[in-house]
Structure 1
Amino acid sequence: MMTFLLTGIVVFLTHTLEVITGFGCTVLAFPFVTWILGIYEAKVLLAVLTWILGFYLVSTKFKHINWRQFGVIVALVGLGMPFGIYLFNHFPSDTLKLLLGVFIILTSVLQLKKEYGGIQLRITIPEWVYYLLLFFGGILHGAFATGGPFVVLYATRKFKDKGEFRATLSLLWVSLNTFLIATDVTFQPLLSNIAAVATQGAPMGQSLLNLIWSLPFLLVGIFIGEVVHHKVDAALFRKIVFWVLLATGVFIIIANLLHIG
């Protein structure tokens, strides 16, 4: 019971942030849920919960989706995902995650200083660099279902409206996780168990139990996140986005140093 409760609390806190901003739940939750459940159960649970949450946001915010930018993002991220799936199943990735965490922290600090008026960034970053970020985001999403940080760095440059930002990224997570769940062997035990429970009355396995117990916490997070999202103006929204990114980088490094996930 304590395992389910701890997992539920993490799901509630991180998915509330996801509803507010449109990203962040998986990468923030991953170290903690990995510590509680193990890396495979964490990847399965968080990918499915993100799919459910994304489906809700897409269904209710459909008119805010920027289809042109969605096409660019999903194409480049989609190119990187098969590489990430392969890496997850064949190679250790501690060094990659450590470098990722450092990169995210440095970028977030620079952006936060800019948002608070501390510095004026005069460096012009070529457009191709942002496209490369999307490709690397796809690799990370295929490996850990947590490719959001790189995608968000691209999205903060392209989206000025917070509703458009959230709706378009939500459609991206639904699309990517549909592909991930359908093609990655990590998810096959859960899918087989759901089919067996539905058709044969078989007992629920650990992955399905984790999912069932987490759903009420997800629903409460959706309700609270929606209330907060509509009370946040555009300037504060951007600050929240970069604070969440900063927390993401810190959590990645902590998880790496503690050898979690």
Structure 2
Amino acid sequence: MLCAPGILIGQYLFYQISPQTAKVLIGAMVTVIALMNLHKYVVKPLVIKEIEENEVADTLVKRIFRYGCLILGGIVHGAFNIGGPLITVYTLEAVKDKKKFRNTMTMLWVVLNSWNLFNQHQNGAFTNELNSALLVGLPLAGIGFFFGMRFLEKINREQFLRIVYVVLLIIGSNMLLSNIPWTADSKMMTIVGTVIVLSGYAFNVFKKRKVNIEKVQAL
């Protein structure tokens, strides 16, 4: 239900905001969220060897963030059809069971995309090129959905979350990097900054790993 107002707002913003600007902002948000959760679900348990015994409490801040992602996802999906990553972030936190997550997302996309299909068809957004792409893409999407359901049966929740956040990282970073108006200087500064940040992060991770391994060996 929280998506619905966002979609209506998004229909208006479709003609008011630059798609490139929206993609940069959403790409940055999704990339940061994916990186944070990859640290939580991949780096901490597999590299640092740090296991959280208790589930973290669902605080007010977390709920505000979660519902904010859902509303914003509805807005950008209604405007540019790129709200999927943000809506996925909400659903991952709200729906813990992987099968329920799949079913929830499937029905959500049916509703959202049916609405967008009708609205954009009315606005003349359909072209021969788009129709041709749909003819090719829909059967492939069906095949992917079939194999995805089979694969889902073979993995546990932790593996499922790791895969989803890797996919979100790829989608978010691609959306961000492919829409930034790069210059030679900005590219160089970004590369240098990224190397420095990653080096510091790796140093901190392996330092914590060493401490945790020593604790285990001392037991």
Note whether the superposition's TM-score is higher than 0.5: yes
Is this contact kept in 1: 2:4–2:74, CA < 8 A? yes
Partner letter of residue 80 of structure 1? G
Whether 1:147 and 2:80 are equivalent positions in the alignment is no
Find the residue that maps to 1:89 and give its secondary structure: coil
Whether 1:233 and 2:156 are equivalent positions in the alignment is yes
In structure 1, which of residues 159, 164, 170 is the aligned counterpart of residue 95 of structure 2? 159
In structure 2, which of residues 5, 8, 14 is the aligned counterpart of residue 88 of structure 1? 14
Whether 1:178 and 2:125 are equivalent positions in the alignment is no
Aligned to 1:223: 146
Give, in angstroms, the shift of residue 82 of structure 1: 1.7
Find the residue that maps to 2:155 and give its secondary structure: coil
In structure 2, which of residues 51, 66, 72 is the aligned counterpart of residue 130 of structure 1? 66
Give, in angstroms, the shift of residue 219 of structure 1: 3.4
Question: Deviation per CA, 1:15-66, whole angstroms, max 9, x where unpaired?
Answer: xxxxxxxxxxxxxxxxxxxxxxxxxxxxxxxxxxxxxxxxxxxxxxxxxxxx
Count of equivalent residues: 172
Find the residue that maps to 2:2 and give its secondary structure: helix
Give, in angstroms, the shift of residue 170 of structure 1: 1.0
Partner letter of residue 212 of structure 1? L
Q: Which sections of structure 1, spanning at least 5 residues, go unmatched?
A: 1-74, 194-204
Aligned to 2:174: 251
Give, in angstroms, the shift of residue 76 of structure 1: 0.9
Question: Deviation per CA, 1:215-251, whole angstroms, max 9, x where unpaired?
Answer: 3323332333232222121110011111111111111
**Aligned counterparts, 1:21-32, within 5 A:** none
Aligned to 2:209: none
Higher mean alpha-carbon deviation, 249-258 vs 163-172, is at 249-258
2:179 and 2:144 map into 1 onto residues whose CA distance is 27
2:141 and 2:81 map into 1 onto residues whose CA distance is 18
2:20 and 2:134 map into 1 onto residues whose CA distance is 27
Q: Which sections of structure 2, spanning at least 5 residues, go unmatched?
A: 183-219
Query: Stretches of 4+ moved more than 3 A in 1?
Result: 118-124, 185-190
TM-score, normalised relative to structure 2: 0.68
Is this contact kept in 2: 1:136–1:150, CA < 8 A? yes
Give, in angstroms, the shift of residue 141 of structure 1: 0.5
Aligned to 2:130: 207
Taking every aligned residue pair, what percent have the same amino acid on both sides?
30
2:134 and 2:30 map into 1 onto residues whose CA distance is 29
Relative to 1, partners in 2 of residues 1:244 and 1:86: Cα closer, same or farther, differing over 3 Å? Answer: same
Partner letter of residue 72 of structure 2? F
**Aligned counterparts, 1:55-66, within 5 A:** none
Give, in angstroms, the shift of residue 171 of structure 1: 0.6
Find the residue that maps to 2:174 and give its secondary structure: helix
Is this contact kept in 2: 1:141–1:147, CA < 8 A? yes
TM-score, normalised relative to structure 1: 0.58
Partner letter of residue 179 of structure 2? N
Relative to 1, partners in 2 of residues 1:252 and 1:186: Cα closer, same or farther, differing over 3 Å? Answer: farther
1:184 and 1:215 map into 2 onto residues whose CA distance is 18
Give, in angstroms, the shift of residue 123 of structure 1: 10
Give, in angstroms, the shift of residue 186 of structure 1: 6.4
The RMSD of aligned alpha carbons is 2.7
Question: Deviation per CA, 1:171-211, whole angstroms, max 9, x where unpaired?
Answer: 11111111111223466465xx9xxxxxxxxxxx4333322
2:13 and 2:99 map into 1 onto residues whose CA distance is 34
1:143 and 1:88 map into 2 onto residues whose CA distance is 4
Question: Deviation per CA, 1:94-139, whole angstroms, max 9, x where unpaired?
Answer: 3332222222111111111111225778995242232222110111
Whether 1:103 and 2:26 are equivalent positions in the alignment is no
